[in-house]
Amino acid sequence: MLDVRTDHVADRDDREGRLVLRDGTAMSYRRRGQGPVLLAVHGWAASAIFFDDLAERLCGRFTVIAPDLRGHGDTPVGDLPLSIGTLADDLDELVTQLDLSGILVLGWSMGAMVAWSMIARHGAARLAGMIVEDMTPRVLNDADWSLGMSSGIDAAVSARAEAMMRDDWSSYAATFAPRMFARERRLGDPTLVAEATAALGRCNGADMAQIWNSMAAQDMRPLLPSFDLPVLVAHGALSEAYGPETSRYLVETLPDARKTVFARSGHAPHLEQPEEFAQAIQQFAGALEAGTTHQQNTEGSISS
């Protein structure tokens, strides 16, 4: 279950940290466990708390580090532009200041876009692999691209959505949050949906609109063939955000990628099928360690 409390559980071995970014902003992050680093990067309007359950499941195998991106959670907006590029540079600062290496980076939704941008701007020397959780290289659809958001959102729809974020963020978050989950899950687990809605509702609408605008302007498609590191593409079969063709495109375009499908999940498999998702990460990490990940354009499946 998602733990959205602001007080942390005292009897866990979690450690909350802060580091000062280049503009003086204090980035908040959570760190738990021992072993190779799993850097978990949350999605738009979310925060590090969305990875608390995953960290608990994996802390015996990994050092799980989950930052609050700028403008999210406990990390203030600061003085720099709220853009994907800024968030990517912040993430690189975190990696550099903590002197991390051999990182397995998990990017959930926008978190994958931030991680891709970090790689494009700073390289992948510190990374061992990447997990892309239900994301597209380009959010907006147009006449030449239909693998953005499944709702068919284009530039005009995006502009209207951005205005709604600024005008009434609480209502927008209350509409958006339930759609992260598969229909059966959101009907069967109202507590999870309520907690996620409350967590998203704490964001500032104007800040989220600014970040959304930057994310909508991104197009990672030309860069994907240059991202030469092992990638696991994790797709929720019941996702209302992106269809199976989007994850298939990633597998076909990235140099070294495979796909894992979570049959009972929507946009957040790590919350909807947490045990299976944790197992998939451990299996992928094991393949990385064994040097057996170089199986280009293959697909796996987790259907339970």
**Chunked mean pLDDT (size 10), the chain, 304 residues:** 36 73 98 97 98 97 98 97 98 98 98 98 98 98 95 92 97 96 94 96 97 98 96 98 97 97 98 98 95 51 42
In a domain, 119, yes or no: yes
In a domain, 179, yes or no: no
> Tokens 């409390």 — which residue?
5
Q: Supply the pLDDT for residue 99.
A: 97
In a domain, 40, yes or no: yes
Gap between the Cα atoms of 199 and 180, Å rounded: 13
Q: Which residues of 202-241 are buried (b: 16+ CB within 10 A; e: fewer)?
A: ebbbebbbbbbbbbbebebeeebeebebbbbbbbbbbbbb
In a domain, 205, yes or no: no
Q: Supply the pLDDT for residue 236.
A: 98
Q: Supply the pLDDT for residue 195.
A: 96
In a domain, 26, yes or no: yes
Q: Supply the pLDDT for residue 90.
A: 98
Q: Supply the pLDDT for residue 300.
A: 42
| CATH number, domain containing residue 62 | 3.40.50.1820
In a domain, 172, yes or no: no
In a domain, 45, yes or no: yes
The number of folded domains in the chain is 1
Q: Supply the pLDDT for residue 5.
A: 30
Q: Supply the pLDDT for residue 14.
A: 60
Please check whether residue 244 is in contact with residue 255, taking contact to mean a CB–CB distance below 8 angstroms.
Answer: no
In a domain, 283, yes or no: yes
Please check whether residue 229 is in contact with residue 241, taking contact to mean a CB–CB distance below 8 angstroms.
Answer: no
Range of the domain at 120: 15-138+219-299
pTM over 0.85: yes
